[in-house]
Amino acid sequence: MLEVPTKSKAQLECVAARDRVECLYQVQQRQADLVPVDPEDMYYASKIPNQDFVDLPINNLDQLKGLKSCHTGVNRNVGY
């Protein structure tokens, strides 16, 4: 888990995952609140049982306040 300071003072908490599918499952299990995805990830997410994935219209970092973001890691296929 990593907390990232931002210029806007929004506090972001990152939760690591081994791959982008694990990120989707962490969102489903409420271990993470959001994950950046590609269109094919959204299609995959739509097939996960008991899911309620939605598109969040985020315009600035303040709108992420209090949420946990899931990433596979620096220079990996999801995030950063």
Question: Whats the size of the chain, residue-wise?
Answer: 80
How many other C-beta atoms can be found within 10 angstroms of the C-beta atom of residue 18?
10
**What is the distance between the alpha carbons of residues 49 and 28, in angstroms, rounded to a whole number?**
9
Residues 13-71: tens digit of each pLDDT:
788 888 888 988 888 888 988 888 888 888 888 888 776 666 777 787 777 778 777 76
Asked, for residue 56, whether it belongs to a domain, the answer is yes
The H or E element containing residue 2 is: strand 2-4
pTM (two decimals) = 0.58
Say how many domains are in the chain. Answer: 1
Asked, for residue 79, whether it belongs to a domain, the answer is no
